[in-house]
A and B are shown apart, each in its own frame.
Chain A
Amino acid sequence: SAVISQKPSRDICQRGTSLTIQCQVDSQVTMMFWYRQQPGQSLTLIATANQGSEATYESGFVIDKFPISRPNLTFSTLTVSNMSPEDSSIYLCSATGTATNYGYTFGSGTRLTVV
């Protein structure tokens, strides 16, 4: 299965600023996703990152707040814009290939604290 590098691993940001999280996969993958995991909660899908086109957002998440790029088959970024303390969470990148038999691989996550 693919190996995912995600950075930064953690950051503390001022409210009103933006943070861009990078996700690099060591092989070409079909699909890439971004999740949010709030403290003590499970994972919530933010969006599917589509290569060469606009991301597909889940209900409750909008492009203006969480712009996503995926310029090629191995790289994606998620920006958390105009941050507020409610955005404090762990953000996870995930990827899968053409078959799901090995599941969806996850990065180690970015722990974001907004003060």
Chain B
Amino acid sequence: EDQVTQSPEALRLQEGESSSLNCSYTVSGLRGLFWYRQDPGKGPEFLFTLYSAGEEKEKERLKATLTKKESFLHITAPKPEDSATYLCAVVTGGYQKVTFGTGTKLQVIP
């Protein structure tokens, strides 16, 4: 059974304090790994897709990296508007089944 574990469950940062979120996975036949941002009361918002180990993607203050067992979402100099829950998901299987992690709730304090 595919498993996705995110850590930490919650993270509180001061504005400008850089950090990383972790997503570790145990799956067979990884077809892709996604990062999403979810604000309260809204659906997940797509951030990145990573396909293979060594791949990196960047968007503003966010950078996602992928190894064979885990992915990191690095947040550089975060701002209060980066506060949200960040979800990691893996895609496997012939019909592209998506399995989500439990998320990291990030709070950035001004």
Q: Which residues on A are within 8 Å of B, measured CB to CB?
A: 1, 4, 6, 31, 33, 41-45, 48, 56, 92, 94, 96, 100-109, 111
Bound complex: CA A104 to CA B45 (Å): 9
- Contact A106 B41, beta carbon cutoff 8 Å: no
Contact with A along B13-45 (1 / 0, CB 8 A): 000000000000000000110101000011111
Chain B residues engaging chain A, CB cutoff 8 angstroms: 31-32, 34, 36, 41-49, 87, 89, 91, 95-103
Can you give 12 A-B contacts (C-beta < 8 A)? A1-B46, A4-B43, A33-B98, A42-B101, A43-B44, A45-B97, A94-B98, A96-B96, A104-B98, A106-B46, A107-B43, A108-B42
Closest 8 CB pairs of A and B: A106-B43, A103-B46, A43-B100, A42-B102, A42-B100, A108-B43, A109-B43, A106-B44
**A4 to B96, alpha carbons, bound, how many Å?**
19
Cα distance A2–B104 when bound, in Å? 26
Q: How far is the CA of A26 from the CA of B9 in the complex (A)?
A: 35
Is there contact, CB below 8 Å, between B95 and A100? no
Asked if A100 contacts B91 (CB within 8 A), the reply is yes
CA distance A43 to B87 in the complex (A): 9
